[in-house]
Amino acid sequence: MYDSVKGFRDFYPEEMQARRWAMDTLEDVAQRYGFREIGTPALEPTEMYVDKSGEEIVEELYSFEDKGGREVALTPELTPTVARMFVAKQQELSKPIKWVSTRPFWRYEEPQQGRFREFYQTNVDIFGSAEPAADAEVLAVAVDMLTDLGLTAEDFEIRVSHRDILAGVLESFGADVDVPEAIRAVDKRAKVDHDDYLDALVEAGLNYGQADKFDEMLQIDAAEIETLADLTGSEDVRAATDNLQAVLDAAEDFGVREHLTVSLTTARGLDYYTGVVFECFDSTGEVSRSVFGGGRYDDLIEGFGGQPTPAVGFAPGHATLQLLCQRAGVWPAEELSTDYYVLQVGDTRPTAARIARDLRERGHVVESDVADRSFGAQMGYADGINAETVVIVGEQDLENDEVTLKEMDDGEQISVPISEFPGDHDRPTFEDFAE
């Protein structure tokens, strides 16, 4: 007997039915906005992640030397891969490019609530547009995904910020401030003690007085964010606040502004983010971590050897999204569902198989006996797979040119002429023949 590897999960059919519903919902929303599905490899050169994040990233990877002597890693995220793909065909692709994919990723880290070593994400990215409408469309896709899952404005909030506002405010405190390090401290603000957070800002180059003042500026009312340009004397901050407002105005036009909250304490820790960033949270706080996040990363393509190309995207993780849906009561029951079970009694397989084919051609989920079981065993199996309707094809039925329909929820059954089943009915049930 073997145990599964720590941080990796098995999904049985009941669980996968609910997960498939979620995956299909997310992908359907993206496709309605014109995002095109891509497929990406599980392995990439380890060097790609080291060049992007430094040697220390190797500790977080499933990396190894393959049989050809190449250093490779299981992909921990999609952004470097899509950047590589974009650069490879940059001149051929019509822009803006809108890509979507759902797939697993791997990170060697300690499993915790909503985080596993193998995890699934749906990635949504736009390349080739710096317009605020691109940011707003990505936010609209995120909101529509959540609402199509059955969530409401009371269930979640999307906190929106701007990395250039944070950077500009930090730079106003002096040239010695390590801006990326300070932004990483902001990203961890809600996860650590306040004193530890201030210590991290000091380590990034602020003194304690400046750290307090900076944190106070981050909590400025959304309606007064534009005053930060005057407080800092920074034109970069002014340009960033104007850009943030333009994105919010576009989000209003997309119909999703009510779901967005301006919050400068939202930072996103990855260094490649350059403009608007956002994170989705459970409104009740029961799901204790960010459900997902995203933002603009205009410099990444150039960093992978391509021409300067603006980009924006996000990636909902399915584990945390499931936690939110379960908390809100919209996650479907994890149970099998079957439209019809075609039950055979005696030598009736040709007719039973024809009926099953006809029902499948109408798009229904249909099972029939493949184990030569008794009538009682087949009925027990039909109940176990939650069959809504059982079509009994018995030798005595066929002698009378009939089949029997039995509804499993209430036990009602009726004999139906075989020439009329399924007939012209898209979803034939007891009611169709009881009149």
What are the binding residues for L-histidine? 77-79, 107, 121, 125, 268, 272-273
Give whole-number Cα distances, 172 to 47, 167, 204, 299, in Å: 35, 9, 14, 23
Strands 156-162 and 97-106: unpaired
Cis peptide before 96 (omega within 30 of 0): yes
CB 243 within 8 A of CB 141: no
Token pair belonging to 306 = 């391509």
Give the span between the Cα atoms of 66 and 71, in whole angstroms: 7
Report the amino acid identity of residue 426: D
Give whole-number Cα distances, 227 to 196, 218, 224, 360, in Å: 28, 12, 6, 63
CB 79 within 8 A of CB 271: no
Binding residues: 77-79, 107, 121, 125, 268, 272-273
Give the span between the Cα atoms of 401 and 259, in whole angstroms: 60
Report the amino acid identity of residue 112: Q
CB 366 within 8 A of CB 339: yes
Report the amino acid identity of residue 356: A
Token pair belonging to 261 = 């909250």
Residue with the two structure tokens 């906005």: 33
8-state DSSP, 76: S
Name the 3-class secondary structure at 203. Answer: helix
Token pair belonging to 4 = 């599964």
Beta bridge mates, 217: none
Q: What angle do CA 356, 359, 363 make, to 5 degrees?
A: 130
Rg (the chain; Cα; Å): 28
Give the span between the Cα atoms of 304 and 297, in whole angstroms: 12
